[in-house]
Structure 1
Amino acid sequence: MREGATGPMIGGTRAALLIAGAAGAIAGGIILWLVGSMIVAAGFVAAAVVLAGIALAVKAAFPTRTVVEPETDWSLASALAGANADAIAVTGRGGHLVCANEAYETLCGGLPTPPALALAEPALVALTAAGRDAWRDGHAALAQIEVAGTPVAVSVTRSGHAGDHLVWRFTGHRAVDTVESLVREIDGSLGDRLGEAGIMAALMTPAGQVIAGNRVLGARATGQPNASITGQDLAQLLVGDARGSIHFARDEEAGPLRLLQVPLGSGEQSPVLVALIDDLGGAPAIGDPQDVHTLLSVIPFGLALVDREGRFIAMNAAFSRVAGVEPSAPPLYPGDLVVREDKAAVADTVRRFATGGAQSADLAIRLKDHPDEPLALSIAATRGFGGASVLLSFKDNGEENRLKREVAQATKMQAVGQLAGGVAHDFNNILTAIIGHCDLMLMRHSPGDSDYDDIQQIRANSNRAASLTRQLLAFSRQQTLRPQILQLPDVVSEVSTLLRRLLGETVVLEVKHGRDLGAVRADPGQLEQVVVNLAVNARDAMLAKGAGGRVTIQTRAATIAELRHRGTDIMPLGDYTALEIADTGTGIPPDVLPKIFEPFFTTKEVGKGTGLGLSTVYGIVKQSGGFIFADSKPGQGATFTIYFPVHAVSPDAAPSRPVARAKSTDTWGTGTILLVEDEDMVRAIAERALTRQGYTVLAADHGEAALELLENAERPSLIVSDVMMPVMDGPTLARAVRARYPDIPILFMSGYAEEQLRRSIDLDNVAFLPKPFSVQQLAEAARDVLAGV
């Protein structure tokens, strides 16, 4: 870039020198004409040229620097605005919106520029005028306007390095979170409790209009039981006497009252909590500490009062419980409750509010006792409460944070499940080709050949990989299930012999069965896998202690009390049969327990666990309509409890496993089969396998190619097609062929789950062959479909 600028610079210098020389020559001619001396004229011209050269040299030595305006970092401004609780927007010189925080979007119902808000005419004129004043004077403010029915105060400040932006701040739009709850509580149970303590409470607007009042206040103010004073002016219900005491207007002889006021929220338009107490002695002043403690003690929300020096005056039990302190020994300052990083922010905010006007703010803090759980601390300036200057309250957002974590976890699990299902589908195609080639090679090699053992090893490892894909599909709840109506004790009894061999001699297996158990509907093979996986995990946990132990498998009927304890929001009430597997191992640490069903999470050493065992169990149970829970105490073992809903059957139908029908081992056949598969390696294996069984095979790589083959061929005996294919998928092809041959049998093969596919296939008389499959399985499936089995 610098080299490219040298040419223009030299050219400009030459032009400047030529212009200076020409100007000097003209001036010299004029001097010669006036003076008549050639020497004087020549000297003048030379001096002009020298001065021009010096000027150009100075300019070259000190070039003019172009000032580059710094670029504003709006991402930082947006982050700062988002951290502020007030509604904030920034506009540019042209009136366009540059950035705004979420509070502004919520208040305005979108992101309009402040002068374009949907306001009443007077408010819009005032807001526009405030913007003009801010451009002129640097700052402007409005005491109150109404935005979307909410009274707010507005301040507008000119900002930016060039003063070319306006910052709009809308305050007072947030009410303290306890206000809506207080309205309900004062009209209900809290109001009754206050009345029992001799406190007449009301929530009112700054203008004095009652929003809510307890029954005692209504009865005392009106003289009528259960009378409501909502909407009335509280000042109209009270009168003052010559001594400055306050009485009820309807009965001035009833005695004086003491009045306490607690502003809630920020700004002058915030609601006010008012408490009236009979002044029996007449001596204590308004805001007496005893009144403060009495009022705070009956309020169920965590509240604390701080004086002008920043020290605690009082706190109620709810506040001390959340803060994790003893009410009898409270800390001296609010900053003593939080971690070291948050002390300065809390102390500064309390000190500013103690000496300033009515305002409030929410601070995200972390308590010393719970540093991993951030809380929102609401800080509000208060007046008319004796020595108290600042009101503190905790906003309990633990449930909100828990829900956010659960939603994030569910989203993550769903994404991983979709990924696992897709990976398993692609992997199944590869395994189908490997297993198929192994089968074809084994047909040419007999036991004893040098390559026979190697081929068998390849096939065995391929089957192990196929079981891994089944685990992935089970985790993602996309595996093919063959549900049957069965009894859980039957399944446990059949697998118990295998379990005793798996658990070893040092682990004792104990099996217990309850009575009158309801039948369940599940896949017996997958259910056996669940039992085996949980029992093997229990064995590993006990062997980790260096000794054996006991594994207990129990089947029983679940009780209603047990279901309520689990949570009806998780598991609806009903009839369930429970399968419980407990061990006497080391137990599961509390920090690990929430993660045990996550995929690829394992506490075993590297290479000794895939992290798919429990996630597979979870997927099988959920796909079967059941629920699984893990309970554990460190050092006391773990218990996995699975609940399956009882399947309703007719009284005369005895649930039992169907007897397997003996099938013929002869897989030879005749006829024409239309084979449609987009994966070349799978199509080649299937074509060779079916051809070796005596079938004539027409192969196509997608649905449209298959329809073209049918145009020039006779009616096939069977269609064997993949489900997911480009151009035209299997179901679309099947519908097109059925339109021509309505009764033609169809065999679908896919790496996806049958249940998932059947929901998207609205066809009758179709069979399904899951991948990966062997040559023998493909031949048997074709034979069974052609035989109408």
Structure 2
Amino acid sequence: MDPNTAEQLSALQPMPEVREVRDPDKVAEELVERSPVIDLLVLGARDGDPVSVAEHARGVDQDLSIVILAEPSRLQQIKRRVRYAPFLSGDVVCQSLAESDSVGRVLGEALVRTRQRRKHHDDVAATLAKLEAPKVWQPNPKQYLDRLLDHAPIGVAAVDYTGEIRTWNRLAASVFGLQEEDVIGAQLTEFFHPSDRRRLEDFISESTANGDKPSPGVFRAQGAHDDNIRQLEVTAAAVSSRSGVPGALVLFKDVTQQMAQEVERQRIEAQMRRAQKLESLGVLAGGIAHDFNNLLVSIVGNADLGLLLASPGSPVQNALIKIKVAGGRASELTQQLLAYSGKKEVRIEAIDVNPLVSELKNLLEVSISNYVLLDMVLSVDLPLVRGDLSQISQVVMNLITNASEAIGEHPGSITIATGTAMLTADECAERKTNWDVSEGVYVFIDVSDTGSGMPASVREQIFEPFFTTKFTGRGLGLAAVAGIVRSHHGAIEVQSELGVGTTFRVLFPAAPGAHLDAPKHETLEPAMERSGKGTVLVVDDEREVREVLSEMLEIFGFEVTAANDGIEALDIFRASPDAYSAVILDLAMPRMGGAETLQAIRAIRPDIPVILCSGYDEDHALKGDSRSAFLQKPFKLSTLINKLEEVLG
């Protein structure tokens, strides 16, 4: 840059920063690095090609003013080139160095033009930015709040520091059935259940006392025009009036349906758990009954063997008879266990309830409290009922046992009464919710006690599984009773008064056309001739059972071969199938069960007589097999011999 030009630039006001670039090729690079800080480009024409440099500069910055200072001899040539340069347009001035007095003015004017252009472009960009920016919409505050409250999906009430309602939205009106004008000035707690009002006051006070957000509380509310109780989930927050008076904003949501659904879900889950427990208890009860029946085979069988050897009228004979009686009662208990477990086949027969009740009275008198007097009032000429004898016995025993426990260790009485009742169609309809009954005559069994009685809340639950009010109870007695009565198409009625006592009435449909089966009498006496012939294969996995069966058979003249399971029995039988007159086979054995063993034996010798024994009830797989018979454990000696003679023909 010549000294004169430098002097002219330094004289400009305000004085610009001047940067000199000696290499023309570096001009565009300098512009890029400093754009848009550079406002004026001054090019000298003494050396190089100023027009080409100007073209590159214009490509970098369209707003930049360019001044080319040239010798007079080259000035016209440079102007022509600038005019026809294809990439050079805009503010480009060619100035003669000979006119030194005007150089400063030209430079100053060019600098001003650049700054004006830049400012104009900045203003346009700012204006466009404002035009393109989204307009910020501001709602009317009061209208906004009113609409928000009216369309909120929860009830909203604003209360002052005294608890009086000052605002009440549309959903609140829907929940309580009261419009805003009906509640302004009333206490909010008035619309909630009386027993929840104090708790609601404390909840709102606690919620507004500090800045914490407490967990929602659930409170009961009642509508103005109905008696339906609603469950409301309530939250509260502190607010103040314009003058700074404190108050509260109370929000509530109706969760009645959700809570009912949750209760129903929990009820179903509890019902499933109870069903699983009942199933497990049923399996346990069946297993106990089976194993106990195996023990009773040995007890009752040895007692029978002892009676064959005992002298008539001797103390030994009397003791053995008592053992047999006790074994019989124990067998009845196992039948009840099997019935409870579902592994006892229901045997429907005609039943006279009066002898049944009398028998049970004698049985239970020794087991109930000594303070309790057990009495009977039996109607004569009762019609028969059809049902399972052991199950109906279980019903009566459970009711008498419960009555005794209700009286406890205090003087009292239990009365068992029988009679008939006529259920009309209307009476049946009243009972349809819980019992499957039809219009007609019913035989009833009443069990009344003078115990402590039951409140209504207990009466509503007594037939639910696992519900009990007894410390040692398991809650299965009355649930099992209800199940038996339902299966017999009967019903149960309960009357109870605290401090007076309780009466259970069990109704069974009468069967006027039914006839009692002829009583069965044992045909075998101990003194009968012992004339058994042939060899019997005895198969049982219990050693005590094998031994007592072998002794029973041998004492009556049979020869016996014993096997401890189905696999051993098949090995023995295959060796000499014609050597055996009959097979006595246990059903429940390890390795190979009785039913599978029976099929294998039949495959070897189809005509072999077989007696199957089990602590459970008769297996359905055995039905239809004319060459097989069934004995349920425990059984008496006479029953065994009679059954064996029956299959031998």
The TM-score, its normalising length taken from structure 1, stands at 0.48
Q: Which residue of 1 aligns with 2:176?
A: 297
Q: Which residue of 1 aligns with 2:98?
A: none
CA displacement at 1:556 relative to structure 2: 2.9
* Superposed counterparts of 1:10-89, under 5 Å: none
The one of 399, 407, 411 aligned to 1:534: 399
Number of equivalences: 463
Contact 1:438 1:458 in 2 (8 A): yes
Residue 638 (structure 2) pairs with residue 776 (structure 1): yes
User: Match of 2:560, as an amino acid?
Assistant: V
The one of 613, 616, 631 aligned to 1:749: 613
- Counterpart CA distance in 2 for 1:507 and 1:571 is 29
The secondary structure found in structure 2 opposite 1:704 is: helix
**More relative contact order, 1 or 2 (CA 8 Å, 6+ apart):** 2
* Superposed counterparts of 1:333-372, under 5 Å: 333=200, 335=202, 347=207, 352=212
CA displacement 1:62-89 (0-9 Å, x = unmatched):
xxxxxxxxxxxxxxxxxxxxxxxxxxxx
Residue 550 (structure 2) pairs with residue 675 (structure 1): no
CA displacement at 1:678 relative to structure 2: 1.1
User: Match of 1:296, as an amino acid?
Assistant: V
- Counterpart CA distance in 2 for 1:423 and 1:350 is 63
The one of 673, 680, 702 aligned to 2:565: 702
The one of 323, 331, 353 aligned to 2:198: 331
The secondary structure found in structure 2 opposite 1:443 is: helix
CA displacement at 1:721 relative to structure 2: 1.0
The secondary structure found in structure 2 opposite 1:639 is: strand
The one of 621, 629, 633 aligned to 1:767: 629
Which structure 1 segments of 5+ residues have no match? 1-241, 247-256, 265-271, 275-285, 300-304, 338-342, 355-360, 368-374, 648-652
CA displacement at 1:724 relative to structure 2: 0.9
- Counterpart CA distance in 1 for 2:607 and 2:301 is 30
Q: Which residue of 2 aligns with 1:659?
A: 518
State the structure with more CA Rg.
2
Q: Which residue of 2 aligns with 1:491?
A: 352
Q: Which residue of 1 aligns with 2:548?
A: 685
% same residue? 28
The secondary structure found in structure 2 opposite 1:687 is: helix
- Counterpart CA distance in 2 for 1:599 and 1:563 is 28
Q: In 2 relative to 1, CA 662–290 (structure 1 residues): closer, same or farther, beyond 3 Å?
A: closer
CA displacement at 1:669 relative to structure 2: 3.6
Q: In 2 relative to 1, CA 750–619 (structure 1 residues): closer, same or farther, beyond 3 Å?
A: farther
CA displacement at 1:655 relative to structure 2: 1.8
* Superposed counterparts of 1:18-417, under 5 Å: 261=150, 263-264=152-153, 288-289=167-168, 294-298=173-177, 313=188, 316=191, 320=193, 324-325=195-196, 330-331=197-198, 333=200, 335=202, 347=207, 352=212, 378-379=233-234, 388-394=249-255, 395-396=259-260, 397-417=262-282
CA displacement at 1:612 relative to structure 2: 8.3
- Counterpart CA distance in 1 for 2:263 and 2:550 is 61
- Counterpart CA distance in 1 for 2:167 and 2:475 is 63
Q: In 2 relative to 1, CA 727–532 (structure 1 residues): closer, same or farther, beyond 3 Å?
A: closer
- Counterpart CA distance in 1 for 2:303 and 2:381 is 47
- Counterpart CA distance in 2 for 1:781 and 1:418 is 30
CA displacement 1:110-143 (0-9 Å, x = unmatched):
xxxxxxxxxxxxxxxxxxxxxxxxxxxxxxxxxx
* Superposed counterparts of 1:509-524, under 5 Å: 509-511=376-378, 521-524=386-389
CA displacement at 1:711 relative to structure 2: 1.8
Contact 2:336 2:390 in 1 (8 A): no
- Counterpart CA distance in 1 for 2:201 and 2:253 is 9
CA displacement at 1:552 relative to structure 2: 3.4
Q: In 2 relative to 1, CA 298–424 (structure 1 residues): closer, same or farther, beyond 3 Å?
A: same
Q: In 2 relative to 1, CA 388–724 (structure 1 residues): closer, same or farther, beyond 3 Å?
A: same
Contact 1:506 1:547 in 2 (8 A): yes
The one of 723, 747, 753 aligned to 2:587: 723
CA displacement at 1:419 relative to structure 2: 1.0
CA displacement at 1:541 relative to structure 2: 4.9
Q: Which residue of 2 aligns with 1:76?
A: none
User: Match of 1:261, as an amino acid?
Assistant: D
The TM-score, its normalising length taken from structure 2, stands at 0.57
- Counterpart CA distance in 2 for 1:514 and 1:350 is 80
Residue 331 (structure 2) pairs with residue 469 (structure 1): no
User: Match of 1:422, as an amino acid?
Assistant: G
User: Match of 2:377, as an amino acid?
Assistant: E
CA displacement at 1:685 relative to structure 2: 1.0
CA displacement at 1:499 relative to structure 2: 6.8
- Counterpart CA distance in 1 for 2:220 and 2:647 is 66
Contact 1:556 1:579 in 2 (8 A): yes
Which structure 2 segments of 5+ residues have no match? 1-139, 157-164, 222-229, 240-246
User: Match of 2:353, as an amino acid?
Assistant: V
Contact 1:441 1:455 in 2 (8 A): yes
- Counterpart CA distance in 2 for 1:446 and 1:366 is 81
Residue 648 (structure 2) pairs with residue 786 (structure 1): yes
Q: In 2 relative to 1, CA 500–738 (structure 1 residues): closer, same or farther, beyond 3 Å?
A: closer
Q: In 2 relative to 1, CA 454–646 (structure 1 residues): closer, same or farther, beyond 3 Å?
A: closer
Residue 293 (structure 2) pairs with residue 428 (structure 1): yes
- Counterpart CA distance in 2 for 1:587 and 1:559 is 32
Q: In 2 relative to 1, CA 298–510 (structure 1 residues): closer, same or farther, beyond 3 Å?
A: farther
- Counterpart CA distance in 2 for 1:554 and 1:750 is 38
Q: Which residue of 2 aligns with 1:26?
A: none
- Counterpart CA distance in 1 for 2:531 and 2:478 is 42
Q: In 2 relative to 1, CA 297–424 (structure 1 residues): closer, same or farther, beyond 3 Å?
A: same
CA displacement 1:711-762 (0-9 Å, x = unmatched):
23244443321111112111112222333444444322111133xx32x556
The secondary structure found in structure 1 opposite 2:278 is: helix
CA displacement 1:161-180 (0-9 Å, x = unmatched):
xxxxxxxxxxxxxxxxxxxx
- Counterpart CA distance in 1 for 2:301 and 2:403 is 37
User: Match of 1:657, as an amino acid?
Assistant: L
CA displacement 1:187-212 (0-9 Å, x = unmatched):
xxxxxxxxxxxxxxxxxxxxxxxxxx
CA displacement 1:642-682 (0-9 Å, x = unmatched):
455788xxxxx932122246663257543443321111110
CA displacement 1:349-404 (0-9 Å, x = unmatched):
997559xxxxxx7669999xxxxxxx9973467999x9744215453444444444
User: Match of 1:719, as an amino acid?
Assistant: V
User: Match of 1:772, as an amino acid?
Assistant: P
- Counterpart CA distance in 2 for 1:747 and 1:610 is 39
- Counterpart CA distance in 1 for 2:413 and 2:299 is 41
Contact 1:431 1:462 in 2 (8 A): yes
